[in-house]
Structure 1
């Protein structure tokens, strides 16, 4: 390696080290709620020294591990796959593990609160049972008749592409809890349940499409959608949620899917 190449490499490493050691002071403003202490929720500020390239989840960990061990929130994989840490950050539904501090203006207080439309159990943890019940109600599994095949059920790439987008759902509830209809009426199935119904309705191997469509034709089903696009904007996986809902509506009208 030439001397000039070595110098460039050394400078690059120095720059990386400088970036890694850069920290800023942020204010994490968390909406706290503990039913054993008070019926009212309150806001609490925490001052933290953080690298701006760290995530909101890292900041929450720092609060819990170093300042207040009573802070309660959900998280599991911490890599945007499990969907456990959906919360409202600066007024928008996001995954804490995918939200970088530098991307949400750390010069101002960063607000963190529980997602809306579901009962808050403590701090950032909500009761997910109504959400999962709606998911179970749309029968999110392959339905077939006849004898069990002796080999895998084959499907063309074109048939798979038809519902590929809606297979990306990680059940984080970010879309459903961003929906104004769901906020006002918890009986509405919500975007996530409809997305997961879509995934099987348009699967060429499935035979339960008519059953799912009838379920979603209920007064609390797909027709409650007001097409505000909140769900599409909130989805951390980039699913075109509103488009999927419209396709289910069209299938109900035409019975073609």
Structure 2
């Protein structure tokens, strides 16, 4: 039987704090349970409980801002655009990854709200995760236009060629899809230098890889496919479909990965013939 060992200081302690709202009268109180962890203290993570007046609040991010402003200024989390564009406020909300700024309280039912950091990623503090490896994997697919042709003014595309990029370019790199993927949990982060070639790149990086493979202006299709033709980088995807369920932009990384696999099969067939 496989024995799994949790990393040091990862087990949640029962020493969470409770913060009560001062609202009275017809206050719309809601209980919010938030993961807290500060590595500087040397203590295990805990779950703090906040009683929040949600009157006038519609989105989870507004709820978090109210907690930080009115109840607990020590709470750490990322946020920026508040419009579902930057991807900063990606958390695990009631067991599902998503953007706090586009997740409405009405979507979470009437019970307690539970907010945790994105799964699998190392926690810097509270809800702030270390995305260094995620960005490194994205950079590895060379997410930029590569062409030997130097046009006089610009690279042109027909409307039909441009349409092929729909559903690919909209990714905001929030990491919701990759951190919801069990294959990525097990194969996506090999810290040992000798094992870094045995990493699954994850749905986000592979979606972006497909975006440049499909771009009619890019001349490196063969090289890009050859780079992905790897047991770990691509084929650790088992079409679990968690990535599709959690994407806040409604994209389909699984379909993009399947298309890359199909192109590799055709590529191999051409070599055989």
Q: Distance in 1 between matches of 2:225 and 2:88?
A: 29
Deviation at 1:219, TM superposition (A): 2.9
1:35 aligned partner: 39
1:80 and 2:87 aligned:
no
| Structure 1 residue 39 displacement after superposition | 4.1
- In structure 2, what is the equivalent of residue 128 of structure 1? 131
Aligned partners of 1:53 and 1:102 also within 8 Å: no
Q: How far apart are the structure 2 equivalents of 1:121 and 1:212? A: 33
In structure 2, the residue matched to 1:24 is 28
1:58 paired residue among 62, 67, 74: 62
Could you say what secondary structure the match of 1:82 adopts? coil
- Tell me the distance in 2 between the aligned counterparts of 1:85 and 1:210: 36
Deviation at 1:75, TM superposition (A): 0.6
Superposed, which structure 2 residues align to 1:130-209 within 5 Å? 130-146=133-149, 148-185=150-187, 186=189, 187-209=199-221
Aligned length, in residue pairs: 233
1:52–1:100 Cα contact (<8 Å) kept = no
TM-score between the two structures when normalised by the length of structure 1: 0.87
CA distance in 2, matches of 1:153, 1:227: 35
* Contact 1:24–1:52 (Cα < 8 Å) also in 2: no
> Cα 1:255–1:163, aligned 2, differ >3 Å: closer, same or farther?
farther
Other-structure match for 1:9: none
Secondary structure of the residue aligned to 2:48 is strand
| Cα distance in 2, alignment partners of residues 215 and 34 from structure 1 | 39
Mapped to 1, the partners of 2:96 and 2:223 lie a distance apart of 34
Partner of 1:3: none
Provide TM-score, normalisation by structure 2: 0.82
1:248 aligns with 2:250: no
By percentage of residues, which structure has more helix? Answer: 1
* Structure number with bigger Rg: 1
Aligned-pair CA distance for 1:29: 0.4
Q: For the residues of structure 1 that align with 2:257 and 2:230, how far apart are their CA atoms? A: 14
Give the RMSD, CA atoms, in angstroms. 1.5
Quote the Cα distance in structure 1 between the aligned partners of 2:253 and 2:205.
11
Report the equivalent of 1:18: none
The ranges of structure 1 where at least 4 consecutive aligned residues each deviate by more than 4 angstroms after the TM superposition are none
Structure 2 CA distance for aligned equivalents of residues 219 and 23 of structure 1: 56
CA positional deviation for 1:158: 1.3
- Name the SS of the counterpart of 2:168 in structure 1: helix
1:36 is paired with a residue of what secondary structure?
helix
1:184-221 Cα distance to aligned partner (Å, 9 max, x none): 12232010000001101011111111222122222321
